[in-house]
Amino acid sequence: MKLRVAVLYGGRSGEHEVSLRSAQSVIEALDPGRYQVLHYKISKEGKWSPRPIVPEPRGNDHIDVVFPVLHGTFGEDGTVQGLLELAGLPYVGPGVFSSAACMDKEVMKRLCLERGLPVVEYVALNGPHADAAAACRHLGYPMFVKPANLGSSVGISKAADHKQLEEAIATAAQFDRKIIVERAIAGREFECAVLGNGDPQTSVPCEVIPSKEFYDYEDKYILDKARCIVPAPLDEQKTAEMRRIARDAYLAMGCEGMARVDFLMEGASGKLMINEINTIPGFTSISMYPKMWEHAGLPLPKLVDRLIELALERHKSRQALRYTI
């Protein structure tokens, strides 16, 4: 029998359209000889089509495994993962805690710091803040202002002075109650793909060269002018360091299945810093997570096979756990 794979896509986030594109790539990569694809589209208003997944064990017997391709809020933040845990279904990607913790940029930074991993200096604000300038003074201008729980650079602004900082905070506050303000790093941007459960593997990194001042949503998905170089033009020592940090961050956050670790490298010092960890990275035609694995000899159809295998392996190991005395 073919494995019945429920692909979840769309969703209630600013990354709805990106999710549709990623899902299309995943669906096309699923071998029709091995898999039966079940489409689950979630509208921007949160309506499921053709029907919702039921949050109870054995309530979805027509599904063998779920492949969430939901970026951002209500998809990458542990909410859908919690639904799938209640439903007792195997699913691709990290679990509830890892998804939620990686999605929250401030929590991710705190947990990485606890493991001695390098992150960009930051201040966390709870919504629009009258004393934001004072709280962020030690960072120095320019600064980046971000919603704490969003991806694809949605709601991110760069502030060069006090007025721009206030405007950037107001913009970010439209998307999240928690806001992150970071020291702007003058340097280079890199990404490293991680794959696996208990013993994850890392790809060679890629370098992202934005066509604009920084790699924002427009540059990622609309202009089609940003360049990505695989493998990144780095010496062996720096490449090895980046791969080690990516793996350590993945394990520190309790990730399983997949994640993409994004880095900044400061031009003046050459220091590597973790920027973000994406637990459902993009799978669009321009997304770097599948491209990095393709460079490693794992084309998208094989990558999708492996992600499903990892989901089933984790589910099998969890079935041995006891939940009652």
- For this structure, is 131 an active site residue? no
DSSP 23-34: HHHHHHHS-TTT
Task: Determine whether 282 is an active site residue.
Answer: yes
Catalytic residue among 278, 287, 289, 314: 278
Structure tokens, 161 = 């002075």
154: nearest Cα among 21, 276, 290:
276
CA–CA gap between residue 291 and residue 300 (Å, rounded): 8
SS3 180: strand
- Rounded Cα distance between 319 and 88, Å, is 9
127 among known catalytic residues? no
224: left (phi over 0), alpha (psi -120 to 50) or beta: left
289 as an active site residue: the answer is no
For residue 314, give the 3-state DSSP assignment. Answer: helix
In the set 21, 260, 306, 314, the catalytic residue is: 260
Among this protein's residues, is 221 annotated catalytic? yes
CB contact at 8 A, 101 and 71: no
> Of 10, 11, 14, 15, which one is the catalytic site residue?
15
**Active-site annotation holder among 98, 276, 289, 314:** 276
Catalytic residue among 72, 95, 196, 282: 282
Q: Is residue 241 annotated as a catalytic residue, yes or no?
A: no
Alpha carbons 16 and 95: distance in angstroms, whole number: 21
Q: Active-site residue among 152, 153, 157, 275? A: 152
Q: List the catalytic residue out of 215, 221, 250, 289.
A: 221
Q: What is the secondary structure of 100-154 as a DSSP string?
A: HHHHSHHHHHHHHHHTT--B--EEEEESS-TTHHHHTGGG-SSEEEEETT--TTT
Asked if 17 is an active-site residue, the reply is no
- Tell me the C-alpha distance between 296 and 142, whole Å: 37
Q: Is 64 one of the annotated active-site residues of the chain? A: no
Return the DSSP state at 91: B
Active centre residues (catalytic):
15, 152, 221, 260, 262, 276, 278, 282
